[in-house]
Amino acid sequence: MQQATPKTEHHEQHPVNKPRLVEVKIDGDPREIAAETYQVSALKNLLGVPLDYELELVKGGKFHPLVDGDTYKVHGHEEFLSHVSCGGSS
């Protein structure tokens, strides 16, 4: 009689819910990050952008500001631009 063996090895080789890594650019420099939804402030941190800087998505030759309190879903091949905040009081 054959003894059944557990098939845990298969799960170890192919982890479930492992994030897909994609390439994005920040200020022209390529970075590899997980394709998932981020709080904009967390995305800044991940990309090495100071929290007091603005982060913009460059899409179709246009600049789209990303607000810290919002979320953004990274798909891959995005181009981001960071810069000192232009607004403020004097």
Q: Which domains does the chain have, with CATH numbers?
A: 19-84 (3.10.20.90)
What is the reported pLDDT for 26?
98
- Token pair for 1: 């009689």
What is the reported pLDDT for 37?
98
**CA 46 to mean position of chain CA atoms:** 7
pLDDT in tens, the chain (90 residues): 555 544 555 545 556 778 899 999 999 999 999 999 999 999 999 999 999 999 999 999 999 999 999 999 999 999 999 999 886 554
pTM of the model: 0.75
